[in-house]
């Protein structure tokens, strides 16, 4: 079967590999669509701390069960919750399996879904329903990240919010906030094509280039600052603005992974008594909600800008690594 395999820093290859064989408790899934995540880009660049070559990329996918399992029948359209927890550490025993001390993911610590077939534990699958498109099904994982990012810090309907970064996760968070009752929402983004896309979705997009943050706060919050500040950018210039954007005792949610050590103006945070909350992946409940939100909000699918054949794997990665291409979410079809 064909698979997109990480061969080393900035090296990938479409190769023929053996079809995986399920073990007890596992099922074989025929992959229809698989998406590139920011984590996959880190693997490709050789900066991921755990991923080792050779490795089949991919933890965002949709597909169909290939053979009857104990839970799902052959032909059932599914996606997967790709995280695996040990079940024995303190976080796992405290109900926080999503931040297990030895958390592992499909496509990072074991071969993933950028292949014609993938083997996964059957109890990690979620049924999508025949009416859901393959493209939307492959977005459930990033939607679950967005749901977790909104639910975990305790967002309440009516709270205002600002999102730094209008990429796939930033826009997914904006969709979730809207569904959760946010009517005063602003997204700050520097890329012109992403700004245009966000505006097409009906969001209030502001250009980060030359932004007057104090004027924005005056306009949107009466000068008080935002209730929730979501960092989906993960770059030093944004880190310097997060506390300034927040209200006194506001919440700053760090969603993006910073690639280098980053300075935060901690004294400003102390004076405002802001709360920093870092989010990583998702709980099982977040995944369940993500599936239901996807069924109810077809606009999520518009985050997909490119669907490429597996043979164009390099082009797909290049699209996301090259500024100004307008690529948002790139999927491969199998």
What is the pLDDT confidence band of residue 141, given thresholds at 50, 70 and 90? very high
Among 324, 316, 326, 318, CA closest to 34: 316
Whether pLDDT at 298 is above 90: no
d(CA 270, CA 247): 12
Whether pLDDT at 322 is above 90: yes
The pLDDT tens digits for 196-215 are 999 999 999 999 999 999 99
d(CA 104, CA 37): 16
d(CA 71, CA 110): 23
pTM value is 0.96
d(CA 195, CA 215): 19
**pLDDT over 70 for what percent of the chain?**
100
Going from the C-alpha of 24 to that of each of 59, 83, 162, 199, the distances in angstroms are 21, 18, 46, 48
Looking at residues 308-326, what average pLDDT do you find? 96
Whether pLDDT at 246 is above 90: yes
Using alpha carbons only, what angle is made at residue 124 by residues 113 and 303, rounded to the nearest 5 degrees? 55
d(CA 144, CA 290): 5
- Is residue 182 within 8 A of residue 320, CB to CB? The reply is no
What one-character DSSP code corresponds to residue 19? Answer: P
């Amino acid at each position: 079967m064909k698979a997109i395999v990480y061969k080393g820093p900035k090296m990938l290859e479409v190769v023929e590999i053996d079809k995986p064989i399920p073990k007890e408790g596992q099922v074989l899934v025929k992959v229809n669509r698989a998406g590139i995540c920011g984590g996959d880009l880190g693997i490709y660049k050789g900066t991921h701390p755990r991923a080792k070559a050779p490795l089949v990329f991919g933890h965002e996918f949709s597909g169909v069960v290939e053979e009857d399992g104990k839970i799902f029948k052959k032909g059932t359209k599914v996606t997967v919750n790709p995280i695996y927890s040990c079940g024995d550490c303190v976080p796992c025993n405290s109900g926080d399996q999503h931040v297990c001390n030895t958390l592992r993911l499909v496509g990072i610590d074991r071969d993933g879904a950028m292949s014609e077939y993938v083997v996964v534990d059957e109890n990690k699958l979620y049924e999508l329903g025949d009416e859901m498109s393959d493209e939307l099904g492959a977005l459930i994982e990033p939607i679950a990240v967005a749901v977790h990012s909104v639910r975990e810090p305790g967002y309440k309907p009516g709270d205002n919010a600002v999102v730094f970064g209008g990429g796939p996760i930033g826009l997914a968070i904006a969709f979730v906030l809207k569904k959760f009752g946010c009517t005063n929402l602003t997204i700050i983004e520097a890329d012109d094509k992403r700004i245009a896309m966000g505006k097409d979705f009906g969001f209030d997009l502001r250009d980060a280039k030359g932004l007057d943050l104090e004027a924005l706060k005056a306009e949107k919050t009466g000068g008080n600052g935002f209730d929730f500040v979501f960092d989906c950018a993960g770059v030093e210039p944004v880190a310097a603005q997060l506390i300034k954007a927040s209200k006194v005792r506001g919440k700053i949610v760090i969603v993006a992974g910073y690639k280098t050590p980053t300075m935060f103006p901690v004294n400003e945070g102390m004076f405002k008594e802001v709360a920093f909350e870092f989010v990583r992946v998702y709980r099982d409940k977040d995944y369940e909600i993500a599936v239901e939100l996807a069924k109810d909000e077809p606009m999520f699918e518009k985050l997909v800008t490119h669907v490429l054949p597996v043979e164009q794997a390099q082009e797909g990665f290049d699209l996301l690594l090259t500024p100004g291409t307008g690529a948002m979410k790139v999927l491969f079809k199998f």
